[in-house]
């Protein structure tokens, strides 16, 4: 019923940090990436080659990519918005890049300053070039479950865009619940539609936990054969549309659930929690991941007070 094994794509060093006010130095990012790789994560998104004035937190992605520890079986990737970004990714020695766009016009315009058609046109120019350079390409399609500007999203429209991304050579499509409003029934309907045209191995889910439904949506994905999930250490990043709310699903929350269910991830939960503690220390505030906070609470000194629990 469930996949025997799932793969997690760790997006904390990119999607997490780009939404944190704290700007980590290169050394700190490399330490965090090393801790994530040591825990067994084999796919780690280390940054983004967007204009530094747009996302100053990730301006040093070239250096981070070059200094991330080179380990067998570990693949690093970064976002590339255009040809300049792709050239920087190639020069940094990355094995994978990701293009990104939204399923809705208004979010795509706010996020990339382009219409949906313009984004697709731009990617047609860079995806084949990446493949020719021996770099695999994943595509992010955001706002599939809901849009902060347009509300409900037409899944057929999202599928039309996805088809074009696939046809230009994107090997993996990551479907995003960017604002974290999806519910399990909706997830089933969206996946039923996509699975008519895509093999499950070509799809990944990028779920946010704003409303606390990310794990429930993951479970539906696993029931339907999806075996790749994007998560962020400690739930780093928050939600840019809902200050104070949870953002990306926390890596350790999904790893913990999978371990309890007997689903293999290849990740050592203890080492992952160490990486989460490091992320919280470096970022300097309490992160939203449930499993991390449970572990940190247990590690803290002090007596439990059973009378207070219900
Ligand atoms: Mg995200």
Residue ranges with CB less than 5 Å from ion ligand 1: 15, 248
Tokens of 217: 């949506």
Q: Which residues are catalytic?
A: 239
Please state the pTM of the whole predicted model: 0.95
Do residues 200 and 226 make contact, with C-beta atoms less than 8 angstroms apart? yes
Do residues 251 and 10 make contact, with C-beta atoms less than 8 angstroms apart? yes
Q: Residue 309 pairs with which residues in a beta bridge?
A: none
Tens-digit pLDDT string for the chain (310 aa): 899 999 999 999 999 999 998 899 999 999 999 999 999 999 999 999 998 888 888 889 999 999 999 999 999 999 999 999 999 999 999 999 999 999 999 999 999 999 999 999 999 999 999 999 999 999 999 999 999 999 999 999 999 999 999 999 999 999 999 999 999 999 999 999 999 999 999 999 999 999 999 999 999 999 999 999 999 999 998 777 777 778 999 999 999 999 999 999 999 999 999 999 999 999 999 999 999 999 999 876 665 555 666 6
Q: How far is the CA of 101 from the centre of ligand 1 (A)?
A: 12
Residues in the chain: 310
Q: How far is the CA of 225 from the centre of ligand 1 (A)?
A: 21
Q: How far is the CA of 55 from the centre of ligand 1 (A)?
A: 15
The string of DSSP codes covering 139-152 is: EEEE-SS-BTTTBS
Which CATH number is 7-96+184-309's, of 3.20.20.70, 3.40.50.1820, 3.10.28.10, 3.40.50.880?
3.20.20.70
CA distances from 60 to 16, 28, 41, 46, 99 (A): 15, 12, 22, 10, 19
What pLDDT, in 10s, does the model give residues 234-254?
Answer: 999 877 777 777 899 999 999
Per-residue pLDDT, 219 = 98
Domain positions in the chain are: 7-96+184-309
């Amino acid at each position: 019923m469930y996949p025997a094994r799932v793969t997690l794509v760790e997006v904390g060093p990119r999607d997490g940090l780009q939404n944190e006010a704290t700007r980590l130095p290169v050394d700190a990012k490399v330490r965090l990436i090393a801790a994530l790789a040591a825990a067994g994560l084999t796919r780690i998104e280390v940054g983004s080659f967007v204009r530094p004035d747009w996302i100053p937190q990730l301006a040093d992605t070239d250096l981070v990519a070059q200094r991330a520890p080179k380990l067998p079986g570990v693949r690093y990737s970064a976002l590339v918005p255009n040809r300049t970004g792709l050239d920087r990714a190639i020069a940094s020695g990355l094995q994978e890049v990701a293009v990104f766009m939204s399923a809705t016009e208004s979010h795509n315009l706010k996020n990339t300053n382009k219409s949906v058609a313009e984004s697709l046109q731009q990617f047609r120019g860079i995806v084949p070039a990446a493949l020719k350079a021996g770099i695999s390409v994943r595509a992010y399609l955001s706002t599939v479950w809901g849009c902060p500007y347009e509300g409900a999203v037409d899944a057929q429209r999202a599928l039309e865009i996805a088809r074009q991304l696939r046809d230009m050579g994107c090997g993996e499509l990551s479907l995003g619940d960017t604002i974290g409003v999806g519910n399990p029934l909706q997830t089933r309907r969206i996946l039923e539609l996509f699975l008519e045209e895509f093999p499950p191995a070509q799809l990944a889910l990028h779920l946010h936990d704003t409303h606390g439904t990310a794990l429930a949506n993951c479970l539906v994905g696993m029931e339907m054969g999806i075996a790749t999930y994007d998560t962020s250490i400690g739930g780093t990043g928050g939600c840019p549309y809902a200050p104070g709310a949870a953002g990306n699903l926390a890596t350790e929350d999904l790893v913990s659930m999978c371990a309890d269910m007997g689903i293999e991830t290849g990740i050592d939960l203890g080492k992952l929690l160490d990486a989460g503690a490091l992320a919280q220390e470096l970022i300097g505030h309490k992160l939203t991941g449930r499993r991390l906070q449970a572990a940190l609470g247990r590690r803290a000194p002090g007596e439990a007070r059973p009378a207070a629990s219900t």
